[in-house]
Amino acid sequence: MAAHTDHVSLRERVPADIKPVYLSYQSPLSSRYASREMCFNFSEFRKISTWRLLWVYLAKAEQQLGLSITDEQIQEMEAAVCKIDFSRAEAEEKEIRHDVMAHIRAMAAVCPRAAPIIHLGATSCYVGDNADLIILRDGFNILLPKVARCMHRLMNFAEKYKEMPTLGFTHLQPAQPTTVGKRACLWLYELLMDVQALTHARDNLCFRGAKGTTGTQASFLQLFEGDHEKVKRLDELVTEMAGFEKSYPVCGQTYPRKVDVECLSALASMGASMHKICCDIRLLASRKELEEPFETAQIGSSAMPYKRNPMRSERCCAIARHLMTLHSGALQTSACQWMERTLDDSANRRITIAEAFLSADACLQILQNIFEGLVVYPNVIQKHLSEELPFMATESIIMAMVKAGGNRQECHEKIRQLSQEAGNRVKQEGLENNLILQIQSDSYFAPVWEQLDELTDPKAYIGRAKEQVEEFLVEHVIPALKEYTEKGLLQHKAILSL
């Protein structure tokens, strides 16, 4: 009870000079993590100014098709696109409980000559849904160069470390060696799939266009006195003005909410990629093989001064997990759209779509920063390899012994016994793996003593890792980045020629 009283007391004791922003909940996505450009893309100003542009497009198209709309009316509307009186609109909405009508009235107040023709023949979803589609498209256009930049930085890293052997893992247990660059290509391939999925989702977007209240275009057919061709042309004109190649051929009051499912699916899938990448980095950091950037004055822990926690990777994982959960909201919304439309989509979409794009944007910014400063510790990597490589080399040693005239079964049994002894030494006594020393001390293996350095060279066990990195980068990654390179969007020195 006392604690509750304290909280009430704190509310009453707010100093007069505290800014209002500190007295109300702010989304960390907009206040802390996402970029300014993505936050603007989902801002109220961007939405309402886009609504006003859409009313201009509609008026222009209707005038072009013969309705009595003057140039002066259109010019008046165009001049008011960014002159938004949000206070007036909020007051109107408080009274009439309808956001679109509130903004129609607010625009009419500054466009008295155009007032009679604003929103002529349209339903609320003409501005609401069409603006959403424009904002979705622009959201993808903000994200795609950022994915490309992450790929570009990671490509440089993969090229640099394509030959450096490192211990590979399956089941998080030591397996055959790979290379640091080849492992980076596993991350890179997922981002390549993501850039393809995001591009497809963007390019597959259509416009809702001028479809009317339930998608039948009945109001526009009435406006144009039954002229079907003019109604069809109206839909085409507003679609072209908004920068889309085509509109959805059929829809209800809204564009199909399955479109949101596809968009958020691509974003959530990229969230899974980024989470996997950063998890790998965190695991490698715990082994001290790899480390994300760490500034000179950065503090890893308030209690443990020596800590160098992978905070960027952890933050990326945290936001990526949120991103992945948002896809389910789009699925539920799509599944629950009754008949031509139900309004239980609106509040959910205001949250999930914006947060999905802001979350993806935030993660990509973190990921680019990580990729630009990854630190590799070759000596630690070599140490871990040397602890496991003797066991991996046993098959090669057996084959070399057979070539030298030995008996395979006898040799296998000898190495099995020595391997068990070395394994017990490592696991039970915490000592180093001394299998190679035992082989060098056993005269039975004298025929291959001179080959042991070659047989235990880590590069002998990486297969085509180096060649796979080179082929993958040249044949797949560089072509995927070509568009962004030509537009000058990568802005970073590359090792490979793009």
Looking at the annotation, which residues are catalytic? 171, 301
Beta carbons of 146 and 365 less than 8 angstroms apart: yes
User: What is the CB neighbour count within 10 angstroms for residue 29?
Assistant: 21
How many Cα atoms occupy the beta-carbon half-sphere of 438 within 13 Å?
18
Structure-block tokens of residue 23:
């007295």
The residues near 242 (Cβ < 8 Å, ≥ 6 apart) are 54, 57, 130, 133, 134, 207
Strands 169-170 and 173-174: antiparallel
Tokens of 277: 């990448």
CA distance 78 to 61: 14
The two three-digit tokens of residue 451, written as one number: 């080959």
Phi (first) and psi of residue 291, to 5 degrees: -145, 140
Cα gap 169→182, rounded to integer Å = 13
Nearest to 166 by CA among 153, 150, 182, 190: 182
For 345, list phi and psi in degrees, rounded to 5.
-85, -30
CA–CA separation, 290 and 185 (whole Å): 15
Residue type, 468: Q
Token look-up 């995001």 returns 198
